Structure 1
Amino acid sequence: MKRILYSLLLIVGTCLFSSCADYLDVDKYFYDQVSLDSAFSKRVYVDGWLSSAYSAMDYIGEFSEPFRWTADDLYHPDMKEYHEGNYSADNQFSDSNQNESRLWKYYEGIRKASTFVNNVDLCPELTMDEKTDMKGQARFLRAYCYWALMRVYGPVPLIPLEGLDVNLSYEELSLPREHFDVLVDFVDKELMEAARSLPTKRTVNNLGRPTRGAALGLRSRVLLFAASPLFNGNTDLFDVKDCYGNLLIAQEYDESKWARAAAAARDVIELAKSADLYELYTIAPKATTLEWERPPYNDEYSNKTYPDGWADVDPLLSYKSIFDGTILGSKNRELIYTRTRNGHTCIDNWNEQLMPKTLSGKNRLAVTLKMVNAYAMNDGRSITEAAATGDYVTEGFTTQAYAATNPFLPVNVSLMYNNREPRFYASIGYCGSIWEASSSSETLYRNSQVFYYRGLNDGKQGFKEDCPITGITVKKYYNAEDSRTTGGYRVDKTEMTIRYGEILLNYAEALNELTEGQVYHVTNYMGEDVTIQRDAGEMRYAIKRIRMRAGVPDYSNETYNNQSDFRVKLKRERQVELFAENSMRYFDLLRWKDALQEENQLLQGCDINISDDQTRVADFYKPTIITTVHKMFEQRMYLWPFPTYELKRNVNMTQNPGW
């Protein structure tokens, strides 16, 4: 059998016969090659190989990437160096071993997936349908790994599908970076082929394996990213070149990329309709639910059922239940794809970081004041609009009598958190919120009202900031049963890696960027010609579902017909709806080219130096600049630096500009 080395990195040149990190171990690769015939001779070996390829997913998104806590919505002290821009080509904080780039572990997944696709047909114990499904899974994994690299580094090397001949010289084994559009086309093709090969549904035991919808959903995400300003005619990246001096990012704006992204999102929506697969998850109000627990009465929506209104929707529980473990992933029609880790679909690390010390949590994950202010009032107005009429106030606290008529606020809570939209109460742990911890074996831990005033158990202790640095935390991944105390337990949560709500937002955004009256012909994943154009009715179809589930009014006709106004509102909608999901905010700011403005704003929150002394407690809530954090974002940070040690291994690799 001809020896082919499937490159883990574009790199093996200088590492083939040296002592590198374990994942570059040459003996392992040669073992892979000489044992391919036997490795694919039995079903059990084939299953093991494919399962091994899935391990690359551990390094993407919520589990390991630093970007989940480095945008303008969240702050975690472990991410301070990222917020302050103290990383470089020589200092990669995300790598536990400076001789092993963790993000580049994706190339190991690419190698394994390519080997699998090229050899699974050798197994005589598999049916043709099983081989087709497994190839589809491997293609999905390969595409996901490339996507993870592209959104961080931009153009990266594209590994030949047939591998690299180890008899080549070091220079021939070193690969240059590929043009970004070529990478996008490759991933697009991979995901279309995967979608045609994968089933529409999986059993409960295979929830973490991709389906047709997962492939199409990822394709929607990739093409939206490629159509966005960062990589669509961005002349700021004129100097991103390969080792031969070739430009790697197109300098001319191409509106048809938005049409392509819109068509990809529509593919998911059409699949959802035709196979009755996906829809936003909703819970009906209980018979005991009082009128004031629902969104404010509105003639246009209160008496209509979803998706035309919210008469049959409990907005808070409908939204919160898909993140806090109330609804199993296998029962949730909004879930398109979830990653698993060690057989589990939980994101317990988030829960541990946000839980207060009172309940034995880390008490470290903070929400910025900027994010809190992004949430609308319960009638859909911004806090600025409501303040102009006196309906949004920042002074005063709830009393016992007031709390008795308000379902969301207990006593002694700032009125600045009053009458906010349901997604606010589902996501934000403000000072004075209740943590039920009903699984705790000790009653003293149940229904704790947690305050972050200085000197209290969950507040700042002396000079040690062992609390949410802004005095606000996340509640999106908290379940009322969760407790980290002895005898308590946490409810498993399903990570919403790709969900239908994102697809609807993708569709509306892409359509909005098209010139009014311009018609595009795009080929869908089945090879059929479809027409795409800016359509306010289609945009409303997508956005209204999001808004009605959230219990806030739809946008006006004027907004849908105004490209600029819709763009502003769409960005805010994504910020709120997708808060704390899959590093979404960070990469949205990058692709919109908004990071220079948004990421350089001062970090603000409450003043955690204020105690619960009644003469000064109101000062806790005054907007306060966090002086211990110096946020900084530069132009060069739109693309992550390649580690110096990887550049030394691959002589044909070029560094991103500015690094």
Structure 2
Amino acid sequence: MTKRQITLGILLIAVIPVLSSCKKYLNVEHYFADRQSEERIFKNRDYTEQWLASCYSKLLNYNLEIGHRNYNLTNYSDDMFFNESSGNNGLQYRQFKFGEYDYTWLRQSWGQSYDGIRQASVMLHSMVEAGTFTAAEVADYKAQARFIRAYLYWLLLRKYGPVPIMPDKGVNYDAPYEQLSTPRSSYDEVVNFISEEMAVAAKDLPLKRDNRNIARPTRGAALATRAKALIYAASPLANGNTEMADFKDDAGRILISQQYSEEKWAKAAAAAKDVIDLNHYRLYIAAPKFKGTTDYPPTIFPPHHPEYSDKNYPEGWANIDPFESYRALFNGDLYAGENPEMIFTRGENQTAEDFGIIALARHQMPQTGGGYNCHGITLKQCDAYAMNDGTPFNRQAILQKYGTNMFVQASEVNNFKPLMANVWKEYANREPRFYASVAYSGTLWTMSSAVNNTADVTNKQIFYYRGENEGMINGDRWLPTGIGMMKYINPKDNATSNGGKIFPKVEITIRYADILLMYAEALNELDGNYNIPAWNGSGSHAISRNISEMKKTISQVRIRAGIPDHDMSVYGSKEELRKKIKRERQIELLGENQRYYDLRRWKDAPVDEAEQIYGYNVLMTKDRAADFYTPIRVPQLQTTFSKKMYFWPIDWDELQKNNRMTQAPGWPSFD
């Protein structure tokens, strides 16, 4: 198959040559310096595309869902860390985790979003049917602009909580934002606005885009974003949270709901069901490989299970490769147009250093392969992955099982695949997503795209002992936990000057696995029965804590991952299933900018984000390898959590511009 190259989302939707620059983001004034009338702009196809492209550009940079820490700090919670910070060994990470936010992050994300909201609103109110466009084209353009506007509000809501909803009519959108002094709307008002706008947009958005327009939103993207906003409104942070009674607007109105409503969970479940009922999405599965290569090894089937081993997916895993089914989603092997699980994307991120997934991948890669070796995961995240039979990881049980024979011997390799010789047996017999996500000490990094002096830079078993090339050093290029991250790494990725390259990777902004887990989570919180209208009014959903529905959705995710579904005893307990769903999201959605926000909406952050961060003892050299695997507290990566860290603060400049704006609780108001 010929690969349809997709660059940045902004480039994908552009249609004129001037948009080919990856570095120069569109600015409306750049193209309309002559102050053309809006009527003229929206009667010209090129100008209309330029304007829309400018709206799309506001989804990049500080609004990327997945990318390097310079633009996407919320991708780092209790699961991932970064160590680079100008030779200060994780200083910026510690500052972020202690609430010492760099106001560049705050200012850029806020201003960029409201710029996009303004530009999308201009398009919605100014574009009319003319000789240039058909009625269907006008409807699609306006639906895209409506989606972008609502999506930017969604991004603002997650970071800042209740934010101002700019009046839809009667505002001079040509005026700068500082002249539009507007108070915060309540959390529920923002969610309802997103929900209603996405439902309107969905009516005119197509179910599918062709490859050339793959980064434009579809009906599913609008409905999925609607579902995500509604589940946030239903979650403990925004649903009857009396601890946020001091979050008020300038008139003293409380902005976070003080009364719990179970119906919010029912609405969130119905919204997720709207996406499922499109019957357009499914989890991606890869076929098994019985003869593999170093880059793409033969399928390692899970241990035999009487219920799953002899059945095809989704009832079992007999016809799939669980490892490759998960790995290929993120590493660039699966093109956007081939991914049935992808609901929304901004396209491929091909910039090597600036912000996207390629930058993220390079910071995860070892220096041997031209990487920076400074992004990894915590021991907590490493231990969260189950064994290959679905049972929880138990360090003490493994130590007792293998005793003094904790390292894989050369003669044992065939019994411990995919581990190689000299690897610690804690990493043996783990679920497939572990091997697709975790770069444990002793992992084989193939990095096979290099063509020159390949013996020096390909097929390297990387250890993190002190004194090794990727072990502890005096600078930033080492992993304080002794655990790296493999997710987003292609087996061919090589950033050395030996002729290799880092392969383009699609940013999967929203995917179907997330929707399935959200649906089960919302159903699990219900005690009553509800009848919720479908998104388009065509019918309604009967919503209740339906065990068969929850099992149907969760099992798809787990069986695709090669692990058994939960016992019925788990499904019978709301509390137990809640714990399991949270763990499933922690594993399945690692590195997808979900965990940071999940912990906050669940109000779990005061515990999970304030815990001591543990890793391995990276002070140990190879001759004391067994001592390396002693869990210890990592001083470089300590963290805390306070109430103010639920939401980002408003920048001082913004408070001065908008005299009706109030500060989030706990942050200085500069009065």
Normalised to the residue count of structure 2, the TM-score between the two structures is: 0.88
Structure-2 separation of matches of 1:157 and 1:407: 54
Partner of 1:15: none
- 2:394 partner SS: helix
Amino acid in structure 1 at the alignment position of 2:81? Y
Partner of 2:619: 609
Q: Which runs of 5+ in 1 are unaligned?
A: 1-21
- 2:532 partner SS: strand
Q: Quote how far apart the aligned CAs of 1:387 are.
A: 2.2
Structure-1 separation of matches of 2:420 and 2:575: 40
Partner of 1:312: 319
Q: Cα gap change, 1:569/1:328 in structure 2, threshold over 3 Å: closer, same or farther?
A: same
Partner of 1:501: 513
- 1:521 partner SS: strand
Q: Quote how far apart the aligned CAs of 1:466 are.
A: 2.0
Structure-2 separation of matches of 1:603 and 1:437: 30
Q: Deviations over 1:431-469 (max 9, x none)?
A: 1100111111222211101111112111112x3342122
Q: Quote how far apart the aligned CAs of 1:588 are.
A: 0.4
Percent identical: 42
Structure-1 separation of matches of 2:386 and 2:399: 14
Partner of 2:8: none
Instruction: Work out whether residues 265 and 526 of structure 2, in 8 Å CA contact, stay in contact via their aligned partners in 1.
Output: yes
Structure-2 separation of matches of 1:385 and 1:225: 35
Instruction: Work out whether residues 256 and 520 of structure 1, in 8 Å CA contact, stay in contact via their aligned partners in 2.
Output: yes
Q: Quote how far apart the aligned CAs of 1:503 are.
A: 0.6
Q: Cα gap change, 1:410/1:120 in structure 2, threshold over 3 Å: closer, same or farther?
A: same
Q: Which runs of structure 2 are paired with 1:312-391 in the superposition (5 Å)?
A: 312-340=319-347, 347-384=357-394, 387=397
Partner of 1:560: 571
Q: Deviations over 1:192-224 (max 9, x none)?
A: 011111001111111111111111111111111
Q: Deviations over 1:554-596 (max 9, x none)?
A: 1011111110000001100000000111x10000000000000
Structure-2 separation of matches of 1:343 and 1:460: 30
Structure-2 separation of matches of 1:430 and 1:32: 57
Partner of 2:102: 93
Is 1:632 aligned to residue 643 of structure 2?
A: no
Q: Which of the residues 630, 639, 645 maps onto 1:622?
A: 630
Instruction: Work out whether residues 480 and 636 of structure 2, in 8 Å CA contact, stay in contact via their aligned partners in 1.
Output: no
Structure-2 separation of matches of 1:259 and 1:346: 36
- 1:401 partner SS: helix
Q: Which runs of structure 2 are paired with 1:39-58 in the superposition (5 Å)?
A: 39-58=41-60
Q: Which of the residues 149, 161, 185 maps onto 1:178?
A: 185
Q: Quote how far apart the aligned CAs of 1:612 are.
A: 0.9
Q: Which runs of 5+ in 2 are unaligned?
A: 1-23
Amino acid in structure 1 at the alignment position of 2:250? C
Instruction: Work out whether residues 67 and 586 of structure 1, in 8 Å CA contact, stay in contact via their aligned partners in 2.
Output: no
Q: Cα gap change, 1:50/1:609 in structure 2, threshold over 3 Å: closer, same or farther?
A: same
Structure-2 separation of matches of 1:298 and 1:169: 63
Instruction: Work out whether residues 101 and 643 of structure 1, in 8 Å CA contact, stay in contact via their aligned partners in 2.
Output: no
Instruction: Work out whether residues 409 and 433 of structure 1, in 8 Å CA contact, stay in contact via their aligned partners in 2.
Output: yes
Q: Cα gap change, 1:573/1:35 in structure 2, threshold over 3 Å: closer, same or farther?
A: same
Amino acid in structure 2 at the alignment position of 1:430? Y
Structure-1 separation of matches of 2:468 and 2:597: 36
Instruction: Work out whether residues 383 and 392 of structure 1, in 8 Å CA contact, stay in contact via their aligned partners in 2.
Output: no
Amino acid in structure 1 at the alignment position of 2:78? D
Q: Which of the residues 197, 205, 213 maps onto 1:190?
A: 197
Q: Which of the residues 572, 575, 579 maps onto 2:586?
A: 575
Partner of 1:469: 480
Q: Cα gap change, 1:484/1:74 in structure 2, threshold over 3 Å: closer, same or farther?
A: same
Q: Quote how far apart the aligned CAs of 1:628 are.
A: 2.5
Q: Quote how far apart the aligned CAs of 1:366 are.
A: 1.5
Q: Cα gap change, 1:262/1:33 in structure 2, threshold over 3 Å: closer, same or farther?
A: farther
Partner of 1:489: 501
Q: Deviations over 1:306-337 (max 9, x none)?
A: 11111111110111011111111111111111
Instruction: Work out whether residues 227 and 261 of structure 1, in 8 Å CA contact, stay in contact via their aligned partners in 2.
Output: yes
Is 1:459 aligned to residue 471 of structure 2?
A: yes
Amino acid in structure 2 at the alignment position of 1:649? K
Structure-1 separation of matches of 2:496 and 2:173: 55
Q: Quote how far apart the aligned CAs of 1:553 are.
A: 0.6
Q: Which runs of structure 2 are paired with 1:139-150 in the superposition (5 Å)?
A: 139-150=146-157
Q: Which runs of structure 2 are paired with 1:191-206 in the superposition (5 Å)?
A: 191-206=198-213
Q: Cα gap change, 1:27/1:377 in structure 2, threshold over 3 Å: closer, same or farther?
A: closer
Q: Deviations over 1:124-167 (max 9, x none)?
A: 30111111111111111111100111111111111011252489
Amino acid in structure 2 at the alignment position of 1:499? R
Amino acid in structure 1 at the alignment position of 2:613? L
Is 1:550 aligned to residue 561 of structure 2?
A: yes
Structure-2 separation of matches of 1:33 and 1:224: 42
Q: Quote how far apart the aligned CAs of 1:393 are.
A: 7.5
- Give me the CA root mean square deviation: 2.7
Partner of 1:526: 536
Amino acid in structure 1 at the alignment position of 2:54? S
Q: Quote how far apart the aligned CAs of 1:37 are.
A: 1.8
Amino acid in structure 2 at the alignment position of 1:73? D
Structure-2 separation of matches of 1:132 and 1:507: 30
Most deviating of 230-239 and 132-141 = 132-141
Partner of 2:66: 62
Partner of 2:15: none
Amino acid in structure 1 at the alignment position of 2:104? D
